[in-house]
């Protein structure tokens, strides 16, 4: 028997967990989420003593990824709540954002929902000034009053359905809109009804990103939008672009779509410009200069997702093709050139698609030569340029393009 009434409208597949719980609050005539949570905790205490303390009193701490130590008890608490609401198994867990074991560009944390990994830094909760805001589409609220999970994503600033800009501030009091703080989906704290608000027409690129980020676009040749690119890979590409070009989230849709529309031509031209100007910035010869000194974290950041899926990311593929072409177009000569730069153990591991241990083994077996004389019994620093780029790429190419990470066995 259900302890609580569940909302007449079942949880929508694109609804946020916090939104659904606020609808439970309204259905059961509680004034605040805190009252509901205390009632739930009291009931959970009888059902599962360990899990009851994992159910948060504060709505902003509700989602599973907020769990500080272990999300197991939080998941158990949600499962018990499904029983109290007489919901099908995993109904609430499908709405939750879970901690993901995968990491994005440069080791950045990720959350997981419905088979998609999303950068944690993309989850909208507080802006740069610390003022919480979760924008809404007034027309969506008017049709079905619930919060869409996609509105929690910082790159999203337009409604794909109504092609209008998302509303960030209340038209009445000008305060940031945040249903979690106000505990109201349909109204601002000042009493203004969001469904009555006017919405401006959105930029076409912003609408396109909102429409294609999860589902893809079958007609597009843009690798960021193409249906053949997974949603997780799209997020990885967006984060890579955001980190490399340091654009504002408001401009991210337009800038990223335009950039990847010309992929990889624009990317290659960008790297060509750096290569041509590399000699002007040299302090020492190329064969004593690290790749990072000229190109920054280009190689490390190309590994957009860890662990990788079955298919390498299109950014990684684009970079590998460029570096192979760079080495081919700069043959070895008496005077060191740009292909003779030094790459670190970490960069070599990315280039060869293999663990650090494999790189150390290649070095110990004399396959890779060090650009510097190493001290006896001292491990090579994994982040200092030590191996010649030319040698690493030539070794990689000797195995063919279809043999990823197969070099030396461990015995």
Closest CA to 214 of 201, 186, 233: 233
Interval 30-37 mean pLDDT: 91
Mind listing the pLDDT tens digit for each residue in 377-387?
778 889 999 99
Highest mean pLDDT, choosing among 105-109, 208-212, 371-375, 397-401? 208-212
Q: Is the pLDDT of residue 290 over 80?
A: yes
Cα atoms in the Cβ-side hemisphere of radius 13 Å centred on 22: 22
At residue 128, the pLDDT reads: 45
What's the predicted TM-score (pTM) here? 0.91
- What is the full DSSP assignment across 160-202? TTTTEEPB-B-TTT-PBP-HHHHT-SSB-TT--BGGG---PBP
Sequence-separated contacts (24+) of 76-84 with Cβ below 8 Å: 76/48, 76/50, 76/51, 77/44, 77/48, 77/51, 77/52, 80/44, 80/47, 80/48, 80/51, 81/40, 81/44, 81/55, 83/47, 84/2, 84/3, 84/4, 84/40, 84/43, 84/44
Give the DSSP H or E segment for 321.
helix 314-328
Q: Is the pLDDT of residue 144 over 60?
A: yes
At residue 2, the pLDDT reads: 55
Retrieve residue 203's tokens. Answer: 């930029």
Interval 67-71 mean pLDDT: 74
Comparing 66-70, 112-116, 119-123, 284-288, the range with the smallest average pLDDT is 66-70
In sequence order, the 6+-apart residues with CB closer than 8 A to the CB of 249 are 154, 155, 157, 242
Q: Is the pLDDT of residue 251 over 90?
A: yes
Is residue 286 within 8 Å of residue 340, measured between CB atoms? yes
In three-state secondary structure terms, 25 is helix
At residue 333, the pLDDT reads: 92
Mind listing the pLDDT tens digit for each residue in 192-232?
999 999 999 999 999 999 999 999 988 889 999 998 899 99
In sequence order, the 6+-apart residues with CB closer than 8 A to the CB of 171 are 192, 197, 198
Distance separating alpha carbons of residues 340 and 236, to the nearest angstrom: 30
pLDDT tier at 407, thresholds 50, 70, 90:
low
In sequence order, the 6+-apart residues with CB closer than 8 A to the CB of 90 are 79, 82
pLDDT tier at 364, thresholds 50, 70, 90:
confident
At residue 3, the pLDDT reads: 62
- What is the full DSSP assignment across 345-392? HHHHHHHTT--HHHHHHHHHTTSS-BSSPPPTT-PPPTTS--EEHHHH
Give the DSSP H or E segment for 113.
strand 110-113
End-to-end CA distance of the chain: give it in Å, rounded: 61
At residue 8, the pLDDT reads: 76
Distance separating alpha carbons of residues 353 and 243, to the nearest angstrom: 22
Partners of residue 226 on adjacent β-strands: 217
At residue 82, the pLDDT reads: 87
């Amino acid at each position: 028997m259900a302890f609580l009434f569940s909302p007449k409208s079942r949880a929508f597949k694109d609804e946020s967990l916090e939104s659904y719980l606020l609808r439970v609050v309204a259905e059961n005539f509680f004034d605040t989420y805190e009252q509901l949570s205390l009632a739930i905790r009291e009931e959970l205490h009888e059902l599962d003593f360990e899990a009851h303390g994992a159910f948060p009193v504060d709505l902003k701490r509700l989602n599973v990824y907020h769990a500080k130590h272990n999300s197991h008890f939080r998941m158990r608490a949600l499962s018990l709540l499904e029983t109290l609401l007489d919901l099908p198994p995993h109904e609430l867990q499908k709405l939750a954002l879970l901690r993901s074991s995968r990491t994005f560009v440069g080791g950045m944390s990720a959350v997981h929902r419905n088979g998609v990994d999303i950068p944690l830094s993309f989850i909208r909760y507080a802006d740069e000034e610390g003022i919480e805001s979760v924008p809404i589409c007034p027309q969506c609220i008017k049709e079905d009053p619930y919060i869409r999970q996609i509105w929690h994503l910082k790159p999203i600033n337009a409604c794909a359905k109504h092609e209008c800009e998302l509303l960030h501030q209340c038209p009445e009091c000008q305060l940031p809109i945040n249903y979690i703080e106000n505990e109201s989906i349909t109204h601002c704290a000042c009493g203004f009804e969001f469904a009555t608000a006017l919405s401006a027409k959105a930029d076409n690129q912003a609408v396109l990103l909102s429409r294609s980020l999860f589902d893809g676009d079958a007609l597009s040749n843009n690798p960021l939008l193409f249906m053949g690119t997974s949603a997780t890979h799209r997020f990885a590409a967006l984060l890579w672009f955001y980190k490399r070009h340091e654009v504002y989230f408001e401009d991210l849709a337009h800038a990223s779509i335009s950039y990847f529309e010309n992929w990889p031509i624009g990317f290659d031209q960008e790297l060509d410009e750096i290569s041509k100007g590399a000699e002007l910035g040299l302090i020492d010869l190329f064969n004593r200069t690290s790749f990072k000194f000229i190109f920054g974290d280009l190689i490390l950041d190309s590994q957009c997702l860890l662990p990788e899926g079955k298919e390498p990311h299109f950014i990684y593929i684009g970079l590998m093709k460029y570096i192979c072409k760079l080495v081919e177009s700069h043959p070895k000569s008496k005077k060191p050139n740009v292909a003779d730069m030094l790459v670190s153990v970490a960069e070599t591991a990315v280039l060869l698609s293999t663990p650090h241990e494999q790189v150390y083994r290649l070095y110990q077996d004399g396959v890779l030569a060090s650009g510097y004389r190493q001290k006896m019994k001292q491990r090579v620093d994994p982040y200092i340029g030590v191996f010649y780029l030319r040698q690493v790429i030539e070794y990689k190419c000797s195995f063919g393009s279809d043999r990823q990470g197969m070099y030396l066995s461990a015995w």
